[in-house]
Amino acid sequence: MVRLVPHVVTRVGRIVAAVVLILLAAITYPGADLLSLVIHLTPAPTATYPAVQGPLAWLHVEHPAGSTPYIADEQGRMVLLHGVIPGGLIDFWSGTDHSQTNPAPFYPIDPAAYEGACPANYATVKVPPLCESDIKDMAAMGFNSIRLPLSWSLLEPLRGQFDQRYVDRVAQVVGWAKAAGMYVIIDIHQNAYSRYVGRSAPPPLPGGALTDLWYNSGAPAWATITDGFPSENYLQQRELNPAVLEAESNFWYNRNGIQSEYIATIAMLARRFKDESAVIGYSLFNEPMPGWNLPPGFEDLLLFPFYRRVIDAVTGVHDGLPCPTQVFMPAVCGFPDAGVHDLRQLFFMETGLIREITDFPTHLGLPVSSYPNLVLSIHPYTHGYTPDALFLGQTPDKATYPWGGYDQTYSLAEREARAINAALFVAEFGNDPKWDPLILTNELAEQERHRVGFAFWTWQENCAIGGNSWGMYNPVDCIHNLADARPASGCLRTAREQLLARVYPSASADPNLTYHYDASTGAFTLHATGHFGEPSTVVVIPSLVTGPVNVSGAVAGEPVVAEVPNGRTVTVYPGAGDFKITISAAPFDLGVACAVTN
C-alpha cells in the first residue's frame, strides 16, 4: 500500500480547496460582478428600424449622459406611456366548487369567438372577457398603451407544445390596440406562481389557512413542482404558501429545465411579433417571488441573470457564458441564441416582490445586459401592500411607513434604473377606490414629477377585494344567481376616470420638461425648453377635459390644436428658448355615475 506523506496530503487538500473556492466564486457574487463589468464595457448592438405606416413608430431606450435613460420614439423624443391593464387573457381559477383545483380555462381561447361579439361574463371568474369594445373605451379615456397580461399555462399547456390559437388571440388584441392607436406591452403574468399549486385538505397546519386559488395564475401544471409541500396561506398572503415558495424556487433553479422552457416560450412570442411596432416589448415576469431565497442574492444571482438569459435568447447578444440549459444555471450563465434576433423591442424587467412591498431596493444594481432597450419596472403599491398595511394594520391616512413618503419608491428606483442602464416604468399600481383622493392622487403626482409612464391595475374586475373591486368600473353582482350571465361590468367610476383620464405630454424633445395636471379642475401646465429644428412636443387631452388651450413663449410657427376621435391633441414646435402650454380650468364632460354593486 502506498502511503501519502503528510505534505502531499496537505498540498492536495489545498488544491481541492482552491478549486472549490474558484467554483464558488464563479457561481456567486465574484463571478456575477466580473460578468457585469464585462457587460458594462461591451458595446451595445445596433438595430435598424424600418419605416412604419401609421402613428405607432418603433420605440427604443435613449441613454442621455449623466441622466436616467428614457423610452423614446424614432425622433429621439421622450415618450410617456399612460396605460391600463385588462385581465381578460389571464388563466385564473374559476368556479364555485373549491374542491376542484383544476378547472378548464374559463373563456374561449379561439379568437373567432370575439369577432364582432363578446362572450358572456360570469361572476365565477375573477375578470370579464377582453373584447374590442374594451380597447375602444380605453382609447377614449386618452390611454395610449396597454399592458396585456398572458398566462404561461395557456401559452404552453403541454411541455414543448405551444397553443397557436392563444397566440392568435393575443395577435387579435394587438390588432385592436393598433387600430385604436395604442401600444401593447406583452406581459408574461403570474400571481403566486400558478393556479395549479393545489389546495391542502382541511384542517390547515397551525397558523395556516385554506388556500383560495381565485387569485392564482401563471405556470402550467407540468411546470409547477411543489414536492408535496402543503398548499395553504400564511399571514393571509397568497404568496406565503409553502407550495408556492417551493414551486418558485424550483423555477429559479431550473428544476427539470422548466426555466429554459419559459425562455423558449418568450422566444416564440418574440418570433411572432418581432416585426410589429405596436408591440413595445415584453414584461418578462410579473412580481417575481424569491421562493425560499433571500435578497439581495435572489435578485443579483437568480432573477436578473434570468432576465439576461431571456435577452440573450431573443436578441442573440450572448452576454452570458455558455452553460448547460437543463440544469441549474449560475448567475454567469447565458442562454443559446433562439434565432429570433429581435433587436427592436424593449424588455421590461421587474424588481423582486420584496422590493415592491417595501418600496426599497433589494438588489445591488449590477449591469444586466449590453442590449440597450432595457426598462426597469416597479409596482408602487404604497400603503396598499407596504409593511404599514400588511403587518402594522395602519390605514393610509395614519401610516408611519414608508419613511420617505410616496416619493421614496420613485427616487430610489431612478437610481436603480441608472445603475443597470435602463429606463424606468411603473408597470403596475392601483388601490381600493375609497382611497383614491389620497393614494391614487399622490401616486399620479409622483409619476408626473419623475416623468415616468404607468400601467394601471386594473381595467375591469368582477368581484371584490376586501369588499370592493379595484377596476375602472364598478363590479358585477357576485352574490346572487352565480350561474347566470352578467354584463361585462357595472358602470364607469367617474371619480376614477377624472383622475386617470389625464392630460399629459405623450412625446417631447425635452426630457427635462415639467408638467402638472389638476384632476379637480381640468387645468394643466407644461414648461419646456427647445431649439429651432427640434421635434415637436405633443400633449394629449382626453375628451372629458374641455378647457381652452394656450401656448406662449419661444415656439416655431402656430401651435396645432387638433380634434381627434378621443379628444384633442396639441402639437408645438420649439423655438429658441422656453415655452409653456396651459389648459384652463373648465367643467368636465364625465360619464354617468352609479352606485357600487356587490
Length reported for the chain: 598
Is the per-residue pLDDT at 17 higher than 70?
A: no
DSSP H helices, 231-386, are 242-252, 258-273, 297-298, 304-315, 353-358
Q: Which grid coordinates are listed for 64?
A: 442621455
Higher pLDDT among residues 52 and 113, named by residue: 113
Residue 97 neighbours by CB distance under 10 Å: 8
* Nearest residue to 263 via CA among 188, 154, 176, 366: 188
Q: Which grid coordinates are listed for 563?
A: 380634434
Rounded to whole angstroms, the Cα distance separating 596 from 593 reads 10
Rg of the chain (C-alpha set): 25
Is the per-residue pLDDT at 140 higher than 90?
A: yes
Mean pLDDT of 324-349: 97
pLDDT for res 54: 81
* Nearest residue to 286 via CA among 363, 189, 361: 189
pLDDT for res 47: 86
Which of 98-107, 189-198, 382-391, 539-548 is predicted least confidently?
Answer: 98-107
Which of 48-57, 162-171, 366-375 is predicted least confidently?
Answer: 48-57
Mean pLDDT of 104-119: 96
Is the per-residue pLDDT at 597 higher than 50?
A: no
* Nearest residue to 298 via CA among 256, 275, 338, 331: 331
Rounded to whole angstroms, the Cα distance separating 576 from 317 reads 41
CATH number given to 38-189+253-501: 3.20.20.80
Higher pLDDT among residues 97 and 127, named by residue: 127
Maximum CA pair distance of the chain? 99
Is the per-residue pLDDT at 394 higher than 80?
A: yes
Mean pLDDT of 251-279: 98
pLDDT band at 202 (very low <50, low <70, confident <90, very high): confident
Going 536 to 540 to 543 to 547, the CA torsion angle's sign is: negative
The counts of H helices and E strands in the chain are 14, 21
Q: Is 282 exposed, middle or buried (0-12, 13-18, 19+ CB in 10 A)?
A: buried
pLDDT for res 13: 60
Mean pLDDT of 2-24: 59
Distances (CA, A) of 126 to 94, 99, 246: 7, 17, 25
% of the chain at pLDDT higher than 90: 83
Is the per-residue pLDDT at 465 higher than 60?
A: no
Mean pLDDT of 436-447: 98
Is the per-residue pLDDT at 235 higher than 50?
A: yes
Is the per-residue pLDDT at 594 higher than 80?
A: no
pLDDT for res 21: 56
% of the chain at pLDDT higher than 70: 94
Proportion of the chain in helix, strand, coil states, percent, rounded to 5: 30, 20, 50
Inter-residue contact 178 to 278 (CB < 8 Å): yes
Is the per-residue pLDDT at 4 higher than 80?
A: no
| Residue 439, amino acid | I
Mean pLDDT of 493-521: 97
pLDDT band at 104 (very low <50, low <70, confident <90, very high): very high
Residue whose entry in the numeric block shows the C-alpha cell 427635462: 512
Residue 507 bridge partners (DSSP): 79, 538
Q: What is the per-residue pLDDT across 56-91, written as a single tens digit (0 to 9) for each? A: 999 999 999 989 999 999 999 999 999 999 999 999
Task: Report the chain's mean pLDDT, rounded to a whole number.
Answer: 93
Residue 451 bridge partners (DSSP): none
Name the residue ranges covered by the structural domains of the chain.
Answer: 38-189+253-501, 506-598
pLDDT for res 7: 59
Mean pLDDT of 165-187: 98
| 515: alpha, beta or left? (left if phi > 0; alpha if psi -120 to 50) | beta
Is the per-residue pLDDT at 53 higher than 90?
A: no
How far is C-alpha 549 from the geometric centre of its chain's CA atoms? 34
Is the per-residue pLDDT at 418 higher than 70?
A: yes
Is the per-residue pLDDT at 503 higher than 50?
A: yes
Q: Which grid coordinates are listed for 89?
A: 387573457
Mean pLDDT of 422-430: 98
Rounded to whole angstroms, the Cα distance separating 196 from 46 reads 41
pLDDT for res 173: 98
Inter-residue contact 244 to 235 (CB < 8 Å): no
pLDDT band at 598 (very low <50, low <70, confident <90, very high): very low
